[in-house]
Amino acid sequence: MQPTDADGFPIGRHPGWPVRLGPLITARGAVALRPPRLRDGSAWSRTRLQDRVYLQEWEPTAVGGWQERNALMAWPAQWSALRGMARRGQALPFTITVDREFAGQLTIGNIVRGALRSGWIGYWVASRFAGGGVATAAVALAVDQCFGPVGLHRLEATVRPENQPSVRVLEKSGFRREGLFHRYLDVAGAWRDHYAYALTVEDIPDGAVTRLIRAGGASRP
């Protein structure tokens, strides 16, 4: 029988995952990443429903209403899908925690191996944790894991030009702007332009966490 970790994920099936990362100490508290759990459902749904106005402006348009897509009963299917992609090595899904409290999600998706060795990064953080370096710390932890044990060479991200907090998160983490995708995604009911950002191993030889700590954005416990 394949051994599993405390969350039920196979141990050693894919390089660098499942894993718990952090914590890093920020102005909001101790930020860490861990695999999503089925019991995250209540906190996930409550946060998503409370933060509808805060989140909906930046997320791709999807089938169904916000209430339906983020209800408690919607979480098991999402959790199962994330778990399936992780088992197949297509994604690295994480729950973001602050002082062990559910604070959001971060996903490395569209993982491609071979000569490309790349993936994209996406994240969201609850409004009550915004502005205190939580997202930046989470991204730094994920970047170092991807460029280390996971063995990726390049990470990409897209962000609307209007979403300046997310732009700052990426730039603080070392991502460089490579261009503008015109009418790239249907977001909030319209086709929106997105900046294209990318980061490779060579861009941050000392790692994203070290870069963040040197800039005063976080510290180790």
124 located within any domain: yes
Chain centre to alpha carbon of residue 170: 11
Which residues form the domain of 196? 21-214
The pTM of the full predicted model, rounded to 2 decimals, is 0.93
16 located within any domain: no
CATH classification at residue 206: 3.40.630.30
39 located within any domain: yes
pLDDT value of residue 1: 53
67 located within any domain: yes
Q: Which residues of the chain have pLDDT under 50?
A: 5, 7, 9, 11-12
221 located within any domain: no
Q: Strand pairing of 154-159 and 118-125?
A: parallel
143 located within any domain: yes
Residue-by-residue DSSP string for 73-123: GGHHHHHHHHHHHHHTTS-EEEEEEETTEEEEEEEEEEEE-TTT-EEEEEE
Q: Closest Cα to residue 105, out of 127, 129, 126? A: 126
pLDDT value of residue 64: 82
Q: Are 130 and 148 in contact (CB under 8 A)?
A: no
110 located within any domain: yes
**Count of domains observed in the chain:** 1
> Quick one: angle between helices 75-87 and 41-50, nearest 10?
120
Kindly report, residue by residue over 6-56, the tens digit of the pLDDT. 545 454 457 788 999 999 999 999 999 999 999 999 999 999 999 999 999
Distance CA 196, CA 156 (A): 7
What is the identity of the amino acid at 31?
Answer: V
Distance CA 170, CA 32 (A): 18
51 located within any domain: yes
Chain centre to alpha carbon of residue 94: 7
Distance CA 56, CA 38 (A): 23
pLDDT value of residue 13: 57
